[in-house]
């Protein structure tokens, strides 16, 4: 969609109580291009994501009373109960939006998908993978029944995930490095967070921000995730003892490793091996 195609549609659903109570329900979506009135003094009862793929505009809320500019491509995250206003400049813009609600929003926020302190997120390029889903989402929202509700929920979550995956580093941050691979290279080494940051040529603050963008975890939690994933592989693919695997993934105390593994995976290492290992 671009400003010249003048695509404008909106579809809404009442929402599914089971999806709202246990996951996420999509309440609506739409795509609009061109010049139209801006929203002012609005409060939503749900979350919303607005993807601005072309043009520019302005956003205001209580934290940003003087306003913030919006330059495409950007994401605009809106939150329930927060009074806000936004809209395109005189030249118009291309906008794609989803409304959603449910318990899953708490998990998304904790995973760092969005930050309430930063409602406007600039992108390096338009999130084409997210925008490509709007046709399917429109069809799902036009349907009736729980199957349509479920399809709309899944598509809405895919839009959110693909849009957030397109977030570029802000000016002065780490940039487009493959931090997952760099961080994983020494995830099994017992060193401090500061030493991990230094090995990557970052400050601790930069490391935390970069890991949160890449994974939604803190650096320490991400290290644990990598270690537990590696331990699962070793338990299934090798005959190494729990003590040997504990040391291999970075834990000198096998008892501590066993408690941590059990808490994260839901079963002790020996039980996991019995359940998952393939017979020779």
Q: In the prediction, which pLDDT does 181 show? A: 73
Q: 260 and 123: one domain?
A: no
Residues 6+ apart with CB under 8 A from 234: 240, 245, 248, 249
CATH number, domain of 229, equals: 1.10.10.60
Q: Which of 165, 192, 222 is the last residue of a domain?
A: 165
pLDDT of the chain along its 280 residues, tens only? 555 556 799 999 988 999 999 999 999 999 999 887 788 999 999 999 999 999 999 999 988 888 999 999 999 999 999 999 999 998 899 999 999 999 999 988 877 788 888 899 999 889 999 999 999 999 999 988 889 999 999 999 999 999 988 874 443 444 445 676 787 788 889 899 899 889 888 888 888 887 877 777 788 888 998 899 889 989 988 899 999 999 999 999 999 999 999 999 888 999 998 888 666 5
Tally of domains in the chain? 2
Query: 246: Cβ–Cβ under 8 A, 6 or more apart, which residues?
Result: 231, 252, 253, 254, 257, 258
Is the distance from CB of 187 to CB of 227 less than 8 angstroms? yes
Residue 266 in any domain: the answer is: yes
Q: What is the pLDDT of residue 4?
A: 52
pLDDT of residue 176: 46
pTM, whole model, 2 decimals?
A: 0.69
Residues 233 and 150 in one domain: no
Domain assignment present for 172: no
Residue 203, phi then psi, degrees to nearest 5: -85, 165
Residues 29 and 135 in one domain: yes
């Amino acid at each position: 969609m671009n400003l010249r195609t003048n695509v404008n549609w909106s579809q809404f659903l009442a929402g599914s109580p089971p999806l709202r109570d246990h996951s996420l329900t999509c309440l609506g979506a739409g795509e609009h291009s061109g010049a139209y009135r801006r929203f002012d003094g609005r409060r939503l009862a749900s979350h919303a994501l607005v993807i601005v793929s072309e043009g520019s505009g302005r956003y205001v809320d209580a934290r940003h009373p003087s306003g913030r500019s919006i330059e495409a491509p950007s994401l605009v995250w809106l939150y329930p109960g927060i009074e806000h206003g936004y809209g395109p400049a005189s030249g118009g813009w291309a906008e794609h939006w989803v409304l959603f609600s449910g318990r899953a929003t708490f998990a998304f926020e904790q995973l760092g998908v969005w930050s309430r302190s930063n409602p406007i997120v600039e992108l390096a390029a338009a999130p084409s993978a997210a925008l490509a889903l709007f046709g399917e989402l429109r069809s799902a929202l036009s349907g009736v029944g729980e199957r349509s509700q479920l399809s709309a929920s899944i598509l809405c979550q895919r839009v959110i995930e693909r849009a957030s995956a397109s977030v570029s580093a802000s000016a002065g941050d780490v940039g487009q490095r493959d931090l997952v691979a760099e961080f994983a290279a020494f995830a099994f080494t017992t060193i401090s967070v500061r030493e991990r940051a230094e090995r990557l040529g970052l400050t601790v603050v930069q490391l935390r921000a970069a890991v949160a963008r890449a994974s939604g975890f803190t650096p320490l939690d991400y290290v644990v995730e990598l270690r537990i994933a590696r331990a699962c592989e070793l338990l299934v693919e090798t005959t190494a003892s729990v003590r040997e695997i504990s040391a291999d993934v970075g834990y000198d105390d096998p008892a501590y490793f066993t408690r941590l593994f059990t808490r994260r995976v839901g079963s002790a290492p020996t039980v996991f091996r019995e359940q998952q290992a393939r017979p020779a």
